[in-house]
Amino acid sequence: MKYNFDAPIDRSNNFSAKYDERKKKFGREDIIPLWIADMDFMTAQPIIDAILQRGKQGIFGYVSRPDSYFEAVCNWQKRRNNWEIHENLVGFNVGVVPALCTAIKEFSEENDKILFLTPVYSEFFDSVEKWNRKVLTSSLNEENHYYTVDFQDFEAKLKQGPKIFILCNPHNPVGRVWTKEELVKMGELCLKYNVMVISDEIHSDLMLWGNKHIPFASISEDFSNNTITCTSATKTFNLAGLQASTTIFPNEEIKKRFEDFWQRMDITRNNCFSLVAMEAAYNYGEEWLEQLLPYIEGNMLYVKDFCDKNIPQIKTFLPESTYLMWLDCTKLNLEGDALVNFMINEAGLGLGDGRAFGANKGYMRLNVACPRVTLEKAMENLKQAVDRFIG
């Protein structure tokens, strides 16, 4: 079927964090929210149908996860990424961040160092610090608005003895799709220094411009044996509120140790709607996804073209993946809270503060997963605000 991503969606009665938490996060409600990473699009019709059909049954007791659930996950990875995984090494979790937190807790000790590349998804910092581990970062190189790994610094940080390296693959917020050569070099260095890898691959289905995702653990048997992979259909199909993710383990011993943590809290089951939604997404969602990706690309190009022509003080990073766009606002010469306040109070925009991602001053993250008319309004607001500011 043909999907219409231009159709405005009213989320006023949707209990949406993106909209309902504007006052709490930004201090006012009359802003365009382009921050949290969910989409202002209805999901694929087969997913809606599966949820509605389940709702009509009218009984919502404890659910038993069928074999077909993880079969759908494995088939998706084989079909999309040419990665064959064993179903007995696949596990359920309520989300990728809870999975990251669990891996950090179970496979490191207090005061151990945990390494990742910055700027990066802000929850990496929280996931480490909440368990009393030490954040260790290696800054990405940025040249001509393109980021690469500083392997000299990366190896220097590995020499400091981190217990775990958290890889963001593809990378949020800068949108890099790591090449095989980059992944191999990271993986070989982690093996050299005996550092476990946790690969966050939640954005891996959102490949733009023909880029292809390479699951880190798929590269070699050695990498597979040293990697816990965290992924989910929730980012791909806008299902974050259903709270379900998949964790792929190197062996049954590590899987048992990880899942024992959740067994002790008796959190092991899907809810009845995520059960059918995840399976429907992986089995029947590709038609929707293949229509979504060109729309996201169009939105990215719209923002880049608009800024190039109308707001040259703001430079855009055209991502290779994700629906998140990294903005370099340093030429506005607004430091710290001043840039955030400018976006909120002058432009009427709620964006992601680059400092939360470990970036230097002057960066913001923009979510373009919304109807074009929303972006048109947002960009016009931003242009007018900058024009007033520079006089």
CATH of the domain at 350: 3.90.1150.10
Domain identity same for 292 and 340: yes
Burial of 89-106, coded b for 16+ CB within 10 Å and e otherwise, reads bbbbbbbbbbbbbbbbbe
Q: Within its chain, how far is the Cα of 287 from the centroid?
A: 21
In a domain, 380, yes or no: yes
Domain identity same for 178 and 277: yes
pTM above 0.95, yes or no: yes
Closest by CA position to 227, among listed 239, 235, 218, 236: 218
Domain identity same for 347 and 293: yes
Domain identity same for 136 and 171: yes
Domain identity same for 327 and 360: yes
In a domain, 9, yes or no: no
CB–CB of 68/282 below 8 Å? no
Domain identity same for 194 and 252: yes
Closest by CA position to 294, among listed 210, 174, 171, 373: 210
What CATH number did the domain enclosing 122 receive? 3.40.640.10
Closest by CA position to 365, among listed 116, 20, 35, 31: 35
**Among 249, 284, 319, residue at a domain's last position:** 284
Domain identity same for 244 and 114: yes
The single-letter code of the amino acid at 226 is N
Domain identity same for 93 and 139: yes
In a domain, 105, yes or no: yes
Domain identity same for 214 and 79: yes
In a domain, 136, yes or no: yes
Residue span of the structural domain in which 247 resides: 59-284
CB–CB of 141/147 below 8 Å? yes
In a domain, 309, yes or no: yes
Domain identity same for 223 and 318: no
The answer for residues whose C-beta is within 8 angstroms of residue 354's C-beta and 6 or more apart is 119, 173, 326, 360, 361, 362, 363, 364, 365
**Among 258, 284, 310, residue at a domain's last position:** 284
Domain identity same for 116 and 221: yes
DSSP string, 273-308: HHHHHHHHHHHH-HHHHHHHHHHHHHHHHHHHHHHH
Paired tokens of 360: 């230097």
In a domain, 51, yes or no: no
- CA dist 134 → 114, 162, 186 (Å): 6, 9, 20
Beta bridge partners of 247: 91, 230
What is the full per-residue pLDDT of the chain (391 aa) written as tens digits?
Answer: 999 999 999 998 899 999 999 999 999 999 999 999 999 999 999 999 999 999 999 999 999 999 999 999 999 999 999 999 999 999 999 999 999 999 999 999 999 999 999 999 999 999 999 999 999 999 999 998 899 999 999 999 999 999 999 999 999 999 999 999 999 999 999 999 999 999 999 999 999 999 999 999 999 999 999 999 999 999 999 999 999 999 999 999 999 999 999 999 999 999 999 999 999 999 999 999 999 999 999 999 999 999 999 999 999 999 999 999 999 999 999 988 999 999 999 999 999 999 999 998 899 999 999 999 999 999 999 999 999 999 8
Cα separation, 30 vs 356, in Å, equals: 23
Domain identity same for 262 and 369: no
In a domain, 150, yes or no: yes
In a domain, 10, yes or no: no
Domain count for the chain: 2
Beta bridge partners of 165: 115, 197
**Among 244, 263, 284, residue at a domain's last position:** 284
